[in-house]
Structures are given as C-alpha cells and as structure tokens.
Amino acid sequence: MSQELSSDQIQQALQGISVPPQPQIMVDLQMEQYLPDPDLGVIARLIAQDPGLSGALLKIVNSPHYGLCNKITSIQRAVNLLGSRSVINLINAQSIKGQMSDETIVTLNRFWDTAQDVAITCLTLAKRLGMPSVDEAYALGLFHDCGVPLMLKRFPEYMSVLEDAYASAGPGQRVVDTENQVFNTNHAVVGYYTARSWRLPEHLCDAIANHHNALAVFSEQSSRNAPVKNLLSILKMSEHICASYRVLGNQYQDHEWHSISDLVLDYVGLSEYDFQNHKDNIRELGIR
C-alpha cells in the first residue's frame, strides 16, 4: 500500500540538487493529473522519460521514510509505492522549481533527447543480451549525463567546452579531461554526486562516475567491478548507437567508442558483426 506524502514533505525531500524537468513532459503530466481519474501507468511512463523527475521520484522512494530493504531503480514500482496524490505533489513541486529561459530549454533539448534515446536503447540491449537488472540499465541510460544541465547552470559556456571535449576524446584523452582542465570538475563527477543525492544504488552511481573512464575500467582484468562493467558495457554501446557524440558533442565521429569498442565488445562476447546487427535492428525499430 502506498504511503501518501504531503506537499510539505515532498518539498523537504527535494531540497538540494535538482535537474530541471523537460517542459513538454511537465505539460503532459499536468494534463493527465487534471483528468477525473489519472492513470498511474501513463504518469509512470511520462516520468520515466525525464531524468530530473525520475531522480526526484527515486530520491523520495529510497528515503528512510519508506524503509525499503534494497534501493530500487524501477520508475513504475516507485510510482506505485508513492501513489497518485504523492506523485501529483511531486509533479507540482518540480513544476514550481523548473522555470527556465527559452534559450536554456533549446540548449537542454540536446540533453533530454539523448537521455531518453540512450535509456530506451540500454533497456533494449540489456534484454537482448540477457543482462541482469534491466531496470538499472534503463536508469543508467537516463541518468548517466545528469551532470550536464547542472554544469550548464553553473558555467554558461559549458556546451562549447563539452563539444571540444568530444572532439579531443580518444586514446590517452578522455572527454572529462578537457572539462577538468577548464572547470576543475566534470559532468561525470557532478552526475555521481547527483545520483548519490537521489539515493541510487552505489554501483549505479559508480557507473555514472566512470562512464567516460571506460578504457581504464575494461582494461582491468579482475572481476571486482563486474556490476559496474555490466552496466557500462550496455551504456557505451547504447551511446554509440544513439550517436551521443553527434547530439551532445557535435562531432561526426565517435572518437571515444573507437578507442574502447574492442574491449567493450570482448567483455560482452559480441563480434563487430554481431554488434552491427544489433545496431541496425535497434535503429530500424525507430529508437534512433
């Protein structure tokens, strides 16, 4: 049975780091909540498309208030646990916090579009490859770049630096290295602490922290980081399939993928031919 939270409790729980929600998603959610009988299934599907709303939802559900034995990453389960009134309070709270300029919205469309596409592709690949915890694969796809809008909020010139970072990526140079040189931090670090504030599972937070450190992660031969490697392998393939290097990085080539593809594909046991088939099939489905 759901435990209803008041508006004040929602506001208190949402103190701290907040990724802005996508305006169109908020409009669709507002329309659904004004129906005589809001459909929790529709609400869950809409929330699951947005990193900021999903993160806020999981932060609340994984809080001590609910006393869950294990942290969850399923948006549908989180919505069911919260119940309609608490979810509507959450939506309204995020709507108040989510005011942005038109220019910021246009810029962040690159982030929102990539997050949705990569999340769906992660889910699809995880199912096809028989990976455990497909909900976590989806969550990583949705949240892996959640540091990007926060970096943009702090540094107005951030997107141009990110483009330079993607252009410079390759053997010996990570995307985050360029960000570190300019800002003394990077979106993977910010994303890690954001995920921690949302109370996501630790290995999922570690995957976010290392999603541009895949060469070092997969070069390590031990099985110590197997949960992180499993998630990262799905994510890096999905980023390449969804052309994150083009949408976020404004590049024509995926320099990062070229430097790690052999290690990633070897880890999951796919040949280049097999991966190309998955890539073509997923794109035919219209995910990208």
Q: Of 204, 175, 172, 173, nearest to 191 (Cα)?
A: 204
**Same structural domain, 125 and 267:** yes
pTM beyond 0.85? yes
Is 181 strand, coil or helix?
helix
Q: Of 240, 243, 248, nearest to 270 (Cα)?
A: 240
Mean residue pLDDT across the chain: 88
Q: Establish if 245 belongs to a structural domain.
A: yes
pLDDT in tens, 169-204: 988 899 999 999 999 999 999 999 999 988 899 999
Q: Establish if 32 belongs to a structural domain.
A: yes
Q: Establish if 4 belongs to a structural domain.
A: no
* β-bridge partners, 173: 170
Apex CA 267: angle with CA 74 and CA 230, to 5°? Answer: 15
Measured CA to CA, the distance from residue 14 to residue 18 in angstroms comes to 8
Task: Please name the helix (run of DSSP H) or strand (run of DSSP E) that holds residue 33, with its range, or none.
Answer: helix 23-33
Given 97, 132, 167, which residue is the final one in a domain? 97
**Residue 63 backbone phi and psi in degrees, to 5:** -75, 160
Domain that holds residue 205: 102-284
Given 72, 97, 122, which residue is the final one in a domain? 97
Q: How far is CA 277 from CA 89, 167, 182, 233, 284, in A?
A: 44, 27, 39, 17, 10
**Same structural domain, 15 and 111:** no
Q: What's the domain count of the chain? A: 2
Number of H helices, E strands in the chain: 18, 0
- Domain CATH number, residue 185: 1.10.3210.10
Given 97, 113, 139, which residue is the final one in a domain? 97
pLDDT in tens, 233-284: 999 999 999 999 999 999 999 999 999 999 999 999 999 999 999 999 988 8
Q: Establish if 2 belongs to a structural domain.
A: no
What is the arithmetic mean of pLDDT over 127-133? 88
Q: Is the confidence at residue 109, as pLDDT, over 80?
A: yes
Interacting residues of 144 by C-beta distance below 8 A, sequence separation 6+: 115, 118, 191, 207, 208, 211, 235
Measured CA to CA, the distance from residue 134 to residue 169 in angstroms comes to 29
CA 50 to chain centroid: 9
**Same structural domain, 230 and 261:** yes
Q: Quick one: what percent of the chain has pLDDT higher than 70? A: 91
Joined together, the tokens standing for residue 131 give: 């990976």
**Same structural domain, 32 and 65:** yes
**Same structural domain, 91 and 130:** no
**Same structural domain, 135 and 93:** no
**Same structural domain, 276 and 179:** yes
